[in-house]
Structure 1
Amino acid sequence: MYVDRRQLREIIKELKKWSAPATVLLSLYIPPGRPVSDVLNMLRQELSITDNIKLKKTRSAVQRALKAAIERLSKIPKIPDNGLALFCGEDMDTGDFICLMFVPPEKVPVYFYRTDKHFHTEFLEEMVVESNLVGLIIIERDAATLGLLKGSRLEVLEEIEDYIPGKHHRGGQSQRRFDRIIEQMVHDFYKRVGEHAKEKFLPLLEQGKLKAILIGGPAYSKYDFVEGDYLDYRLRQLVLPRLIDVSYQGEVGLREMVMKASDLLKEQEYVDALKAVEEFKLNLAKDDGMIIYGEEDVKRALEMGAIKTLIIDEDRPDAHQWAELAKKYGAKPVFLSDDVPEGAWIKKTFGGLVGILRYRIY
């Protein structure tokens, strides 16, 4: 089974729920190119020595996990191009059992096998970080916000402040000296912001995940920052061509900047979600019959081909199934995270599933 990042996030969440009083939970990562026969031989060897486990309950749980892993792996002729991840284990208190084998969205980086008191998900967790990230910088002479746009999520990385005095009005040499001091303070602050941006963004660029940097701010600060060569040259090459006028710092400012730059960020899920929510709210306020909610009504409207956009709470257990159904009937699925304004309201009021219609159906 191939899984995408959204499905993988749900799998990780499920695996993290499992724990055991003994080392009975099996985690296996197989990179591409590893012969299936080699892995099966290793698992059979592990199974052959389980009779040495003294506690009967522990021995039984480990054997059950190994046998399930062997059975699953025996059914495939070759390790897929991205490798395989396999997790099997028993809840020793309830007897519940889980066994998952899937192809992750990125190549498995290591050959790893372990039975432990928890499932080892650390190699998967690196894969759920979006690979189409946009760095965000709001800059003014004494304040800055660094953020990341990650698919349908907006994250504030850091807020930076400094005290820089206003203009001096005495005139003469005192005025010029004071202006030079202020100019140096602003220069030092911009330099500090550039260093923080390098610390936050450069590792993401080196991992191939950072694709662009969007810069905004009030008045001329943003131009002074970009033209003053304060950003690392590798990051400077990613700066989008238009600088955005922004009135606020913090999360509010980042949202404002992203919305104003929506034409530059056409492929970002967060922008799609913002626009979809705004359209839903507008139609709801107008009471024009161009929205729909309730699972049965939504499903019926999808099957009619009447839904243009389907807004889905990404935390719904059936989110992926609704997205696939939307695509099947020509609707655009838009995932809603908690970072999207009004997202929590749509989840609470409408169950996290609403549609925007192409035409009225009632």
Structure 2
Amino acid sequence: MDGNGTLFGTLSGNTREVLHKFTVDLPKKHGRGGQSALRFARLRMEKRHNYVRKTAELATQFFINPATSQPNVSGLILAGSADFKTELSQSDMFDPRLQAKILNVVDVSYGGENGFNQAIELSAEILSNVKFIQEKRLIGKYFEEISQDTGKYVFGVDDTLKALEMGAVETLIVWENLDINRYVLKNATNGEIIIKHLSKEQETDQSNFRDATTSAELEVQEKMPLLEWFANEYKRFGCSLEFVTNKSQEGSQFCRGFGGIGGILRYQLDIRSFDELSDDGEVYEDSD
């Protein structure tokens, strides 16, 4: 926000989006004498006041969800040249629900989109801290489900995908550098389609590309990073998708101990019970 106009935008991950921008024509300070100087100063203050009010009202419109009456953002950065941004942050016209979300007020040397980009650069450290705190909270919640043994969690590729297929996953948590590929394979003999998820190590093992019983060759029909597949498909399963790093203590533990993939479930699920269902009774083979 500066003397020429205001831009509203959002940043999510690395995706920046301009929501709205408008320009304003404010009178400049003039050296006029006598009566007109006072009148002019009053007019100028009034226009400034209206400009701040319009910006404050639009902020509420863009950043408060009318359904919940809560902010739809995790934090706000106010940026601009001159003192408009400070005036806005301290103004009683600015929504107190948004005031509580201000993370940073920064000076930028441009207006419009250049200023938007500059504000993001200048706030990089603060923004990564926000991500860091959210990540700690999210994985903390996941570990809590496990420690209380609620049955509302899954981990590992296979179990997580089974729970996804059942529509049981509320939040899918994936390490942002998960190095697993999703293969669609076709049995060369009987034309059966098989889906496998292989790590770099497993890819070098040729037995993964042969049928276990008949040794028939499995031809690769499609190969795609599992991360990319999740990003394309997660909405279909009605869950939210959260990418995490291994930089926080929690994140590191999640990647090391749980293979960097898991989910918080909507309801209790006993994964073991549908392992038995899916294998057509072969589960009992090793019991004799």
TM-score (norm 1): 0.36
Q: Report the structure, 1 or 2, having the larger strand content.
A: 2
TM-score (norm 2): 0.44
Larger RCO (alpha carbons 8 Å, 6+ apart)? 2
